[in-house]
Structure 1
Amino acid sequence: MGAGQFCTDPGIAVVVEGPDTDRFAAATRAAPGQVDPQVILTESIAEAYRCGNPVLDSRNAVRPLVTSYAAGREAGPNLYETRVSELLADPALGQEVFGPLGLIVLVCDLDEMLTLARGLEGRLTATLHMDGADLPHAQRLLPILECKAGRVLVNGFPTGVEVCDVMVNGGPYPTSTNFGATSAGTMAIRRFLRPVCYQNLPGEFVSEDLRWMKTGLWPRFFTGNYS
């Protein structure tokens, strides 16, 4: 959707090798074949996408599953596959390529999945695809993912951004330079604020905002001498 130009567009799928792995790869490989090339928003984004593909194409440890070539501002999908050992040895493989590009990372077991999760840089989102039998494994992964992503989901795909109270669109560096705030939603104002303590300030020095707050919304913040 949108030529992959959504900041929460999933870019890496970590899959435990097993009977379903080939079916997952085959279904993922078949889906882009039904999509025509789409137009990238700007020339600079299109150029960045064209420069991102060769990073994966040039690695022998990466296997191309779907390959298409971008021309001008049009972009077709690209899908690659590699192993967790290769990604950990070459972190450039895990860097975001903004556009319709995905990477399947194969792991042998949960321990390798945990190792990969610990080695990832900050992400906007992380999703656990699971059923009831996976709950003990998910409980081991969740504390790591909470430290790596601004949004953690189960059995779903992250939405785009809406400016509302429950929206978080940020995460640990490099997804944000301020790990304690989001770039969208009502909490985004925290990116532009810093705490200041005013003690025993005369009333005429107090800003209109603080006078308004003192009138009843958060009286617990005003226990000093503000008269």
Structure 2
Amino acid sequence: MKITTVANQKGGVGKTTLEIHLAACAAEDGKRVLVVDLDEGDLSQFFPPAEDDDETPYLMSSQLFNGEHEGRQPRQVGPNTWLIEADVALLDVDDMDLDVIHALRPALGRFANDFDLCMIDTPPNLQRRMVAALTASHAVVAPFNISAFTLARLPKLMNTIETVQDKYNPGLRFLGYLPNLVNSRSPEEIDALPSLRESYGDAMFAEQIIYRPCINKSLAAGNPVWWKARSGSQREAGKEMKRACKAVLAKVWAE
């Protein structure tokens, strides 16, 4: 099972949106995908809730850290897709001793033979949950939007990744920065892309994701943007999103 984290130390960059589409893309390709919500629950809310009469004690995210995960299983939320849902107790993880960052890898290790891919969504700040995800992962991808605040934090994110590599997880691979939420009507943002790619080289994906309202509309309907695409804008968004997802997943499977 390949464990991949979607991370950025800045909110509003589209981490959860990218994770949803990465999971959907991999599932459509026949991969068994485990989705783990270590953020505030937006990812969990995308998927359909458990049936009212379903009393199965499904595995929740906080239980990956407190030792109560034995015997519990993720909930299947779609074809080839299972979810470990965020719960209120997950917020307590950030107040635990630092050693808690090492709990996630063995907890997820239970499922090493059950899934092909595990995708972890993380909070937008340097807390226990984010460090735990990086410590448990084989790879990390960082979506970002083109704003002064976000660009200023990219070196901080890389510093975090390098620190985790040095101290906790030398096998962690940085897949790259992925330009996201690009405003196609902003000459400044469009003009910034070539210079950013020149500065970051292979550390930045050649693909980009343009901001389009149809992406959020599709997510609100419970679908990746390429599903049931009717308008030209949605079809274009779907092609662009799938192209970006396949580029990320190609790097995931590369090693």
Fold conserved between structures, TM > 0.5: no
TM-score (norm 1): 0.38
Larger Cα-atom Rg:
1
TM-score (norm 2): 0.35
Whichever structure has more helix as a proportion of its residues is 2
> Structure with the greater relative contact order (CA < 8 A, sep ≥ 6): 1 or 2?
2
